[in-house]
Amino acid sequence: MTPTEIVPAPASDEAGGPPIHLTNARVLDPVSGSLGSPMTITVSAGTIVAIEEGRPGGDGRCIDLTGLVVLPGLIDCHVHVTAFSADEASLSRSSASYVTAQAARSMAAMLQRGFTTVRDGTGADWGLAAAVAEGLLPGPRLLFCGPSLTQTGGHADHRGPSDHSAPTGPAFPSHGIVCDGEAEVRRAAREVLRAGADHVKIMLSGGVASPTDRVDSTQFSASEIAAVVEEATAAGRYVMGHAYPAAAINRGLVAGVRSIEHGNLLDDSSLALFTARGAYLVPTLVTYRALVAEGDRWGLPPQSAAKVRDLFEQGLLALERADRAGVAIAFGTDLLGGMQRHQSEEFAIRAQVQSPLAVLQSATVVGAKLLGLEHCVGQIRQGYAADLIAVDGNPLDRIEILAEPERSLRLVMRDGRIVRDRS
């Protein structure tokens, strides 16, 4: 897989001006789990240029981080920045400009919560990613797939049983491209790749938000899945697969799908395939809790609400089993509409079955590796992008600190630009 290119932040008072020196910074290394002694981190032109002892020399702005712990910027590998409603069928009927305005607010809020890189799981496009990269909109670095690929009656086919209209096409902000057979899935994959997608998303099973399928159904044939993987691989990209039941998970992994989203109903055979194939699991537990509590408020249709009741407990058990089996687990949330404000609560949920270090790694080094960005994000190292956060307290003592950004988060820097400073 070819790593996604990092586009430097445009020049600004910070990213393009004099260097910034973060003094007395105790860096938490998510690889080793060690907390370093106070150092000075020097940032210039959006990059970490030095990490050294003592006071900085030369010009530049100094920010004293005494008493704070400094971490890499957080990575959420499953967001929907354009999903302002839990009624996903309504999104394709909305104005693209209105969806963009909603996405801008969503992305700005994510950045304020300390997420400096996110992977969109359907809906965002090249324009949104470019707007963030060029500084037109505040937000995390955005990796996108455009519309997902779904079979007729699949998870991203939002036509109800009495709707016999033509399926939705790939126009923004469509949720999915309906395609059947190897020829159609190849064409659909090539279309999203032509539009600049960082990854291709395929619906391998039923899901919560779709009106006519069951969560435990399998979708697309093995040959269709293999065709999508082949097209993505040929373009130097990879496939992320939505899947709940073990049968759907396993078919995706055998075909070469790189990441499985959700995975609540995995089994022992799935765990063996994850480790053998070097694939990633991206649980999204907070979304089930939010959907049960307030999904109706944010437009979740009644037929979808009935599907979600048992998924939280099943997902928590799946996470615990995957963690014990040594599966690579990345951080994801999958929240829709106004429920996105619960994003950081995923940290506290995972702490029920994982160690603080494992949870932190999922949102830093593991996420970076999944996205092909391990050479430039996910750690605080010389030469890496200046994405970092400073928190009040040590997350390895209490990972729930990261679930409380309004209380604990003091500084957020993305590409050398300070976007939150309460230091």
Q: Are both 363 and 415 inside the same structural domain?
A: no
Q: In terms of Cα–Cα distance, which of 365, 373, 419, 420 is closest to 7?
A: 373
Q: Are 386 and 365 contained in the same domain?
A: no
68 and 83 share a domain? no
Task: Based on the fold, state whether residues 42 and 157 are members of the same structural domain.
Answer: no
Taking residues 5-22, report their average pLDDT: 61
For residue 176, the model assigns a pLDDT of: 86
The CA-to-CA distance between both ends of the chain, in Å, stands at 39
The reported pLDDT for the residue numbered 4 is 44
What is the reported pLDDT for 213? 77
Mean pLDDT comparison of 169-183, 305-319, 344-358, highest-scoring range: 344-358
- Is 15 contained in some domain? no
Task: Supply the range of the domain harboring residue 388.
Answer: 20-73+379-421
Amino acid (one-letter) located at 389: I
Q: Note whether 30 and 89 are same-domain residues.
A: no
Mean of the per-residue pLDDT values for the chain? 90
Clarify whether residues 213 and 351 are in a common domain.
yes
Q: What is the mean pLDDT of residues 299-312?
A: 77
Predicted pLDDT at 89 = 64
**What's the chain's Rg over C-alpha atoms?**
21
Burial of 375 from C-beta contacts in 10 A (0-12 / 13-18 / 19+): middle
- Considering the domain architecture, whether residues 351 and 415 belong to the same structural domain is answered as no
Residues 6+ apart with CB under 8 A from 133: 7, 9, 141, 142
CATH number of domain containing 162: 3.20.20.140
pLDDT at position 9 is 44
What is the SS3 assignment for 40? strand
- Arithmetic mean of pLDDT, 302-325: 89
Using one digit for the tens of pLDDT, what is the confidence trace for 237-255? 999 999 999 999 999 999 9
Residue 173, pLDDT above cutoff 70: no
Same domain (yes/no): 314, 187: yes
Total tally of structural domains belonging to the chain = 2
In a domain, 261, yes or no: yes
- Alpha helix (H) ranges present in 222-326? 222-234, 246-255, 268-277, 285-294, 302-305, 311-325
Please state, in angstroms and rounded to a whole number, the distance separating the CA atoms of residues 84 and 338: 7
Q: Tell me: pLDDT of 272 over 60.
A: yes
Predicted confidence (pLDDT) at residue 228 exceeds the cutoff of 90:
yes
> Tell me: the pLDDT tens digits for 56-80?
777 899 999 999 999 999 999 999 9
399-419 pLDDT, tens digit per residue, is: 999 999 999 999 999 999 999
Asked if the structure places residue 140 within a domain, the reply is: yes
Q: What is the pLDDT of residues 348-393, one digit of tens each?
A: 999 999 999 999 999 999 999 999 999 999 999 999 999 999 999 9
The closest alpha carbon to 8, from 52, 56, 60, 48, belongs to: 48
> Any alpha helices (H) in 40-169, and if so which ranges?
96-112, 126-133
pLDDT at 171 over 60: no
Residues 227-245 have a mean pLDDT of 98
Q: How far is CA 1 from CA 234, 255, 330, 377, in A?
A: 9, 15, 17, 17
Q: Specify the higher pLDDT residue, 51 or 5.
A: 51
Q: Is residue 251 part of a domain?
A: yes
Do 83 and 37 lie in a common domain?
A: no
Task: Name the β-bridge partners of 159.
Answer: none
My answer on whether 78 and 30 are in the same domain is no
Q: Does a cis peptide bond (omega within 30 degrees of 0) precede residue 173?
A: yes
If asked whether residues 303 and 359 sit together in one domain, one would say yes
What is the pLDDT at residue 255? 98
The answer to whether position 8 is within a domain reads no
| Least confident range of 11-25, 54-68, 134-148 | 11-25
CA 182 to chain centre: 28
Q: pLDDT band for position 154 (50/70/90)?
A: confident
